Structure 1
């Protein structure tokens, strides 16, 4: 579990870390110190004007109060119109994040940064381990805030062979106060993550720091320090190392991104469009329905909450950070006046069976998650939260709630079009065939052909395996029906989403959403009366003796859709893999050899899959699609390396090669 920093403010109003007995910034002028030591000594004023790429990456050891980030953000805003830079990435590591109230107090010292400080405080994340991606200015400024020990966090970052970082702020408490951080392993990780000729600057001139950086491959020199400090060290990486974290079979083959087609129409499709749009890239959408959100995204109310476990494995990391990112994204849309029905009323997970009780107890006992994310509640507390007579305790996710999936899908789509209008959209267009020719990909419907496209993204839910190139992805359908039941006098009081085996929402327009059924390997969208009966009986199974249940009226209507899933219950994003190509390139894996691989041919280069969200698309689609688009632009990735591999289309083939099942 991540612990918050314990701090106090000295007589000068400067925050001091109790555990390290050291100040977060200079008593004299912390902002001037930050600007001189890190921004100027990395030569960033000039580099912001002449950088060859459209994004610049700064990495920092020790986020502290965020002063270095805020100063860099302000200076990025001040770049000239002739600068090639469009996006600033700031990656920062913090083992002991300060509390939000302490952050607000510390940043009051810099009124010139108050507009940026307010935005940072508004999005400042919970003390949860892992990477929190915070976006500002519609994605032009991105803060990847890694909570945890820098020594264990850095190796979790996925990157390519030529590195990632352009400039390092080697900050943190003084080496004498914080020896655990200032280790050779840190300097080596910096070198591994760096672009060729990446620079660094640090306030210290300690000899062992300079020697360690030199051993890692940095050229170092001493320069004048800030204020009363006589010397500091700056330098540059001579050559990027060939080290990388991502195995070859989980690499993302890059396309040209000149002309992009998306096949789909749900929340993941809109999010994909949006993440291209915020990078200034237009897309062409092909939707087989007459309007958006007619598939799995068409329910009236969808619950938004993460699927957490009693250990912080890949699923918990994936869902927790996806959920928090989605909340920030949806709140940003609402703040920008995009309209969609929603209510952040919390989600109450009820311990309705012994198995559920054990599961919930394990999560609560793990102490992995801050209570602001998920906390145990007694039956009495649950009744107070829900405002109805529920006999169960459980877990409460206070930041969760519900949204209208169709309205949200439309809002995200509208936001994407406002960023790069006009995107092109073809409704009532069912793409039946994909064909790759010399000049790109062509999409064929019954009556027309569209193309050429450099990239095609298949984001079509349960129909994502309809094409010859995607037929072996291994997706299967799980049909679900949600019933709309008439609210009663008592059920109208329900003030949170409750989950038993299914879910039940607060009333909207006099009705609750109740469900959903779970029919494996079915792709039927037909509404059945039997499923309405099943949903009603399931609710009564757990609440039959309550006044809440007795007050409910009749089922008025229902909607059925197909959740598309993979056997490992994780979405799939990335370039479509060819089974024969994978087997040919990586056949040594079946012999226990993870080396001497053949060159992969990528017969489907430029064709990507984005599907398998199951019942959690509202929670995961925003960050999953952001991760995919960032990878295509060679930008820092929001998910850790292990989550990146868990999402990749190669994963199922590689697992079967390891198990000798291919």
Structure 2
């Protein structure tokens, strides 16, 4: 739900002051120097980074404020990277909370006082999110930094951070207003959550030396040290987390059994990952992997990408929101905002690198109030005041007509950041960007058959395969004893391979040409191929229906046909996406997308005249107060594909198991035991990203980020309740709980 913005004024020194707390956001003397002294030096960051051997470093902050601490840390990391280009530390995560986010104009005004941070401040202003509670993941590519800005109360947010049992955070910036001004933040609950989230050796720095802070941190396992404070402050506190301390509350580290996501060995730059699929799910997963430097191979049947549900020439892009901040609505809202950021990046990348354009128009989306029931529902959403107006707002019939450039006697809801994109062109652009990294290989005409888990090939301590070990495309499995005990599980994947047609031997060029257009797939040649990878991601879309790997999941295939109506009066001037029971887009290359049918459990994809009639009838009924649909001429061009959904209509993201086989291990849930008493899922070298349904354009980027972040044991960009709602194990878990006798 939407957050309350901070109310501030600027004092005579130009420093922002929070009206609610009557305290400054940073020192009147020098905010940059204060951050350097208290947080950068207080956590010994520069020295620790030099000695760091992991690819990521995670800073957590309590109180984002103006973003000054983040900008200083990002600049320091940038300088470290510039002077240490080959250092194993590659990426900085900065996780921060803010209960009352500053309005953007106040934040920018405050940061104008620091011209040395101009470039970083402009980058933040470009991505600064709207005031919506929850996690906003912002990616600063030029700075090798990811900012997770969690909007809300710190005491509600920290328990929702998914963390490895061994801890998540490497350093704490304990900011926020002084304990005397903001006692609600500096509590035992905060200190206990810090203990849960900290690793052995995690440090903290804070400007305060208040006794309540010192005692609270010492009580949960931090070894405390006083240092000279900044400016007029005599003392400040620093410390190091020591889990050997007997008073550490280890029970807080208990994961939620089958929902715990960090069960696998971390995927690293030394790993080889196989992704199977050709649509948005596969493309977003590949891009997320290669951005982390992970060697990835994409396998798919046929000669082209986006041959399934991602192949429609146009797709509406918007979230499905309700009048309450339900789990489903929150997943939609945050997925939509993350996807918009991702698509802006891809479109900019395409333009800057001279690649094929991604047809799109972020022209907004209007959800029409086309009958009394819908009007009542929309009015309830508007009066509930749950969502920021920057996300969705009510509009009257005149506003609807002005936005759409079409006379429409309906009110509605307007989603200004939405619009439409070409899914096949988007998939192509993602794969082209991934290919430019040098970390992605394409393997077309590979039809997935099955997989099996094997004892992996021997590796050295650095994670590299030993000399003589076969690589991922060899058909034989290397045998040998572990070196330093480092034998890992791998996955052997079986494909049927047919010869590419008309590719001239260039698989990449063939795969990315004419993506999404109907192609006659060559028959399987019967050539079988086995490949070995460290991890397998199955992003098969509707193809999962035919795979035994998904038998223990309840899948819901739904056929959908979309018409391609020639542009004509009165819709030739349509300037926005119209939604009701169906949708209509502005024209692309002289045609409007008009859809869509929903036929359950139908995997056929031929165009049907009766579904064309259904689509036209749906639009005619919804627009009954106009003569728009009756006047349309349709020449019969359409496309049908099968979407894959789940019983609860949420994506399915995470480790893939035969849940029918392992559910007996979770029998304690059927007698009322809590989730924390249940075991973790077994280690898995197979994951899935599937069941995106008809909202794939909205959810794919964030769901891929969730999956790849968990595989790499990085911070996750969703709260635990939302992560649980998309977990692959949720159906098994619910079944066991409901079977209580």
TM range (shorter): over 0.9
Instruction: Say which is worse superposed, 533-542 or 425-434, in terms of deviation.
Output: 425-434
Q: Distance in 1 between matches of 2:698 and 2:452?
A: 33
Distance (whole Å) between structure 1 residues aligned to residue 580 and residue 729 of structure 2: 35
For residue 283 of structure 1, what is the aligned residue in structure 2? 296
Q: Which residue is equivalent to 1:357?
A: 375
Residue 611 (1) aligns with residue 713 (2): no
Q: C-alpha separation between the residues in 2 aligned to 1:509 and 1:596?
A: 55
Distance in structure 2 (CA, Å) of the matches to 1:393 and 1:595? 46
Q: Is 1:585 the counterpart of 2:665 in the alignment?
A: yes
The alpha-carbon deviation at position 208 of structure 1 amounts to 1.3
- CA displacement at 1:390 relative to structure 2: 1.2
Please give the secondary structure, in 2, of the residue aligned with 1:78: helix
* 2-structure distance, mates of 1:9, 1:595: 49
1:8 maps to 9
Alignment of 1:250-649 (within 5 A): 250-252=259-261, 253-255=263-265, 257=267, 258-336=271-349, 337=351, 339-419=357-437, 421-439=438-456, 440-445=491-496, 446-546=526-626, 548-594=628-674, 602=682, 605-649=684-728
Compared CA separation, residues 260 and 595, structure 1 to 2 (3 A):
closer
Stretch of structure 1 that moved more, 626-635 or 7-16 = 7-16
- Deviation string 1:43-84 (CA, Å, 9 cap, x unpaired) is 101011112311000000110110000000011011142532
CA distance in 1: counterparts of 2:9 and 2:677, whole angstroms: 55
**What TM-score, normalized by structure 2, do the two folds share?**
0.86
| Equivalent-residue separation in structure 2 for 1:485 and 1:137 (angstroms) | 40
Aligned residues: 660
- How far apart are the structure 2 equivalents of 1:351 and 1:360? 7
Indicate if the aligned counterparts of 2:257 and 2:679 stay in contact, CA closer than 8 A. no
Indicate the SS of the match to 1:448.
strand
Q: Deviations over 1:164-186 (max 9, x none)?
A: 11111100111121121111111
Asked if 2 retains the 8 angstrom alpha-carbon contact of 1:50 and 1:84, the reply is no
1:639-661 CA-partner distances (Å, limit 9, x unpaired): 11011111111100110001118
Contact 1:491–1:551 (CA under 8 A) maintained in structure 2: no
Q: Secondary structure at the match of 1:392?
A: coil
Contact in 2 for aligned 1:245/1:641 (Cα 8 Å): no
Question: Does the Cα contact within 8 Å between 1:265 and 1:292 map onto a contact in 2?
Answer: yes
In the other structure, the counterpart of 2:501 is none
Contact kept, 8 Å, 1:255 with 1:454, in 2: the verdict is: no
The answer as to whether partners of 1:434 and 1:467 remain within 8 angstroms in 2 is no
Query: 1:621 aligns to what SS in structure 2?
Result: helix
Separation of aligned partners in 1, 2:23 and 2:680: 52
2:653 counterpart SS class: strand
Given that residues 564 and 637 in structure 2 are in contact (C-alpha distance below 8 angstroms), is that contact kept between their aligned partners in structure 1? Answer: yes
Residue by residue over 1:344-378, the C-alpha shift from the partner in whole angstroms, topping out at 9 and shown as x without a partner, is: 11110111122222221222122111100001112
Question: Which residue of structure 1 aligns with residue 103 of structure 2?
Answer: 99
* Matching of residue 196 in structure 1 with residue 247 in structure 2: no
Q: CA RMSD in A?
A: 1.8
Shift of 1:118: 0.7
The Cα offsets for residues 501-529 of structure 1, whole Å up to 9 and x where unpaired, read as: 01110112222110100101111111111
The 1:354–1:544 alpha-carbon spacing in structure 2 relative to 1, beyond 3 Å, is: closer
**2:446 aligned counterpart, secondary structure:** coil
Question: Do structure 1's residue 233 and structure 2's residue 246 form an aligned pair?
Answer: no
- Decide whether aligned partners of structure 1 residues 51 and 325 sit closer, same or farther in structure 2, where only a CA change above 3 A counts: same
- Contact kept in structure 1, 2:257 and 2:681, CA below 8 Å: no
Aligned to 1:31: 32
In the alignment, is the contact (CA less than 8 A) between 1:491 and 1:549 conserved in 2?
A: no
Report Cα offsets for 1:141-174 as digits up to 9, x if no partner: 1000000111111111111211111111100111
**Separation in 1, partners of 2:196, 2:679:** 24
Query: Contact 2:602–2:642 at 8 Å: present in 1 too?
Result: yes
Tell me how far apart the structure 1 counterparts of residues 728 and 740 of structure 2 sit (CA, whole Å): 17
Change (3 A) 1:609 1:465: farther
Contact 2:257 2:680 in 1 (8 A): no
In the alignment, the residues of structure 1 paired with residue 106 and residue 657 of structure 2 have an alpha-carbon distance, to the nearest angstrom, of 49
- Alpha-carbon distance in structure 2 between the residues aligned to 1:44 and 1:422: 30
Contact 1:49-1:84 within 8 A present in 2 as well: no
Asked if 1 retains the 8 angstrom alpha-carbon contact of 2:278 and 2:307, the reply is yes
Instruction: Give the match's secondary structure for 2:302.
Output: coil
Q: Is the alpha carbon distance of 1:655 and 1:62 closer, same or farther for their aligned partners in structure 2, counting shifts above 3 Å? A: same
Cα distance, 1:584–1:255 mapped onto 2, change above 3 Å: same
Tell me whether 174-183 or 298-307 shows the greater mean CA deviation.
174-183
Per the alignment, in what secondary structure is the counterpart of residue 149 of structure 2?
A: strand
CA distance in 2, matches of 1:83, 1:551: 65
Q: TM-score, normalised by structure 1?
A: 0.96
Q: Specify the SS of the correspondent of 2:170.
A: strand
Tell me how far 1:617 sits from its aligned partner. 0.7
The runs of at least 4 aligned residues of structure 1 exceeding 6 Å deviation read none
SS class of match (1:70): helix
- Give ranges in structure 1 of 5+ residues lacking alignment: none
Unaligned stretches of 5+ in structure 2?
457-490, 497-525
Other-structure match for 2:228:
224
Cα 1:176–1:422 shift into 2, 3 Å: closer
Partners of 1:231 and 1:237 lie apart in 2 by 20
Q: CA deviation at 1:325?
A: 0.4
Superposition deviation, residue 200 in structure 1: 0.8
Contact 1:465 1:472 in 2 (8 A): no
